[in-house]
Structure 1
Amino acid sequence: MTTHTGGCHCGNIRLGFSAGLDPSQIEVRACQCSFCVKHGSRAVADPDGRLIISVKDSARLRRYRFGLSTADYLICGECGVYVAAIAGEDTDARAIVIINALDNQGRFSQQPIPVDFDTESKVQRQARRRARWMPVEVSFE
């Protein structure tokens, strides 16, 4: 496993994305929902990997939900950087990481694949995320 680090601009949120694949082999997805389009989001996940999110000041972490309300979109309330999305709770939580928030984002060289999940039901969306997103752990310092 290789760990890719990153975080928000002000340093309040730090990321550690561990993956068994080389970044050039990981599929990059460009969600076409209005939120992701407005952020220029490019997301990755390795279902066999792991994402660790460390937050210094929880008061500056913003969680945003919309649509089917099946995921929390994590944004730094200080600098405004969108870093990840989390679906599920506790040990069942799964996530994607936004490569724009990684330090070595240029190594994720696949062309983003536009994806549109607007026709999914809540059950379908949750099942897809369980299968394609990765385990996540959030810690507060």
Structure 2
Amino acid sequence: MQHKGGCHCGALGIEFTSDIAPEDMEVRTCLCSFCRKHGSRAVSDPAGAVRLILRDDAVVQRYRFGLATADYLLCGRCGVYVSAVIEDAGRHYAIVITGALENAKRFSQTPMPMDYDAEDEAARRARRRAKWTPAEVVVESS
């Protein structure tokens, strides 16, 4: 099943593929200050795939904070938070923000609050490799 979406203006696209039905997928809400301020609801599937399409890379904002292990991708034009992505050992892994998907309402599980403050950098990278979705980042323009 493929779920498409992106930011409001179309500069940042996303295609998320998973065999898990949206209604059955675990939805997480991170308790860090960034995610709380964005009201993010995130999903991932280690057996799935994410394709992040940067149609206008000049307006894509990459934000890092805390341990600075992931890029939080936001559109600098319309402001939508679409995904977080990490590069580790030459591979990318991502979470998908359900609000950026066209069928967002189908991801209807009650979000599980997640607190990752106790993780060090190695533990955070290991968790993301194990739990996040393998991703491809495609830059269509610069």
- Same fold per TM (> 0.5)? yes
d(CA) in 1 for partners of 2:135, 2:71: 12
Give 1:113's aligned residue.
112
Letter in 2 for 1:73: Y
Q: 1:3-22 residue pairs with structure 2 within 5 A?
A: 3-22=2-21
Q: Percent of aligned pairs with the same residue? A: 54
Find out whether 1:55 has 2:50 as its counterpart: no
Give 1:25's aligned residue.
24
1:137 to partner: Cα distance: 0.7
**TM-score using structure 2 length:** 0.96
Unaligned regions of 5+ residues in structure 1, if any? none
Give 1:70's aligned residue.
69
d(CA) in 1 for partners of 2:42, 2:121: 20
1:70 to partner: Cα distance: 0.6
Q: Residues 50-105 of structure 1, C-alpha deviation per residue, up to 9 Å, x if partnerless? A: 00011111110010000000100000010000000001247421000000100000
Q: Secondary structure at the match of 2:36?
A: helix
1:138 to partner: Cα distance: 1.1
Q: Residues 20-57 of structure 1, C-alpha deviation per residue, up to 9 Å, x if partnerless? A: 11001110000000000000000000100000011111
Q: CA RMSD in A?
A: 1.0
**TM-score using structure 1 length:** 0.97
Q: Secondary structure at the match of 2:15?
A: strand
d(CA) in 2 for partners of 1:57, 1:96: 20
**Higher deviation after alignment, 28-37 or 48-57:** 48-57
Unaligned regions of 5+ residues in structure 2, if any? none
Give 1:123's aligned residue.
122
d(CA) in 2 for partners of 1:95, 1:85: 6
Give 1:46's aligned residue.
45
